[in-house]
Structure 1
Amino acid sequence: MIDYSQLNHYISPSAESGLSDAWRRSLGRLGDYTAILVRSLNLRPLAVNLYAQTAEHILVRITTPGSHLILRVAPEDDLAGYVYMMRALAGRNLPAPKIIQRDLSRGLVPFAFTLESYVPGISADQLSSDPLLRGAGRQAGRALRRMHRIPVSSAGRPLPSGRWPQQTWPSVLRQIGRRRAAPPSDALLFGPTERECLAALLDSPLLDPPHLTLIHGQFGPHATRYTSGENVHLEAIVDPGRFVGGDGLYDLACGLLAAYPTAWREGLIDGYLSAAP
């Protein structure tokens, strides 16, 4: 008999956790909700464990007789962008978790969720060898370039209905900026001159790409999974950002941040350019 209550993590509203009510509710009753979903999906688990927690999602690993599965719980995110991207990658045979079941309606439980395949391996930022890291970056670059050949109908993200609200890429960049450094925090990071330059840049027509494509939205070594031995093999691209439609150069810029190891950056740009049409 599985004890689902071990998944419940109660967090007092008075605790200085910075969590919203939706997050506290989802964590506090995670075991109860998991039991409901396991029964509704007719699963026969051998074990359930809290696998990981990201900035947007809670991941529960469900072990069945034949495989591991991941239950992705989104306390606040509607998962529309996530589902769209994963299905688009699967449609082009690009490495990604396979979505087995999804429900974005919040009808059965008070959050959107997916049931998906478990992806083994480690992220590129866990690789310590430069040759392995360079190989990992090269494979990621090739996959990223192929992903950037998938067209989308607008910048931003789709609604749960599947419809894309029409937005420009500069308007999405402004939203990204507000999410990362909302006023007045931006004044602590940038001076008046820098903010004026940024505003002028966002108004430039040069930022409008000729074609909008599928993007990852927060790409980097952390967004990849590899199995490794003497060599590495890219198993999946994971954990996309909130916005999944835009200019592919944004992904490339994120992946080439100076904070990342040189071997990763060299491999990434090499793989990206080698996959060019």
Structure 2
Amino acid sequence: MAMSLDTLIKRANEAFDAALAAAAPGSAMAPALDRLDHRPTHILAIGKAASAMARACRDHGLDAQGVIITNPENAADVEGFELIIGGHPVPDQGSMDGAKRAIELTSSLGPDDHLLVLLSGGGSALMTRPVGDLDLDHKRIINEALLARGMDIHRMNACRRLFSAVKGGRLAGLAAPARVTQWVLSDVPGDHLASIASGPFAPDPWSFDDAVGCVVEAGITRHDWATSVLDAMRKGDLPAPLRDGDPAFDRVETSILASNAICREAASNDLG
């Protein structure tokens, strides 16, 4: 028997709600929290869902101190967490402050520490620390050029990783040799870790030359300071993003807890 229009609408709404529920930080994180085999000593939450993810940890009984780096619209205080509010989609001084704090935290870790990283979308702008002698104004110029060009998120973040002191696995390099567990709510097509918040704890899969091609495409190389940074990286005078196989990733374990595919599966399961 064919369903009535009202029934079809009701079922569609229920499937939509199931998809949204699958991406809600509390429900998405619950299975991972249940199977966590080693309590973290520190928690670093980055992105637009950072406060909600930190809250889920507290509600589950994790008592480690932590840092939240998020945007104004989603900011919420969580007991035991330092809250830092950055700019999005264009970075601001708060974004610089967040990156500074993330660098301080990861640099302080030792081999017996366990850092739980809670990563969600928006982290590329919310946590900003330029490489070399660049400053916030340079980062704003880069970001505005990328946004104006309309590049897809993968090409955009390939550029960002080159000019960042925290992206492209650089926070993983600072955290080593501590253990790092990274839980991710993905907001990018294909769930490529290097593109989610520009991969602060993930290796950069792009070759240097391919990433530079994106920088050229965005028109950033018309600035002398940009070409100076790229030349310094070619010579090895400035560190490039970390690549797969770097020992910094030996103790980094990553799980994607929510994504477009996971939400679609939840909707499909609800429909039967």
Scaled to the shorter chain, the TM-score interval is under 0.3
Q: TM-score, normalised by structure 1?
A: 0.25
The alignment's TM-score, normalised by the length of structure 2, stands at 0.25
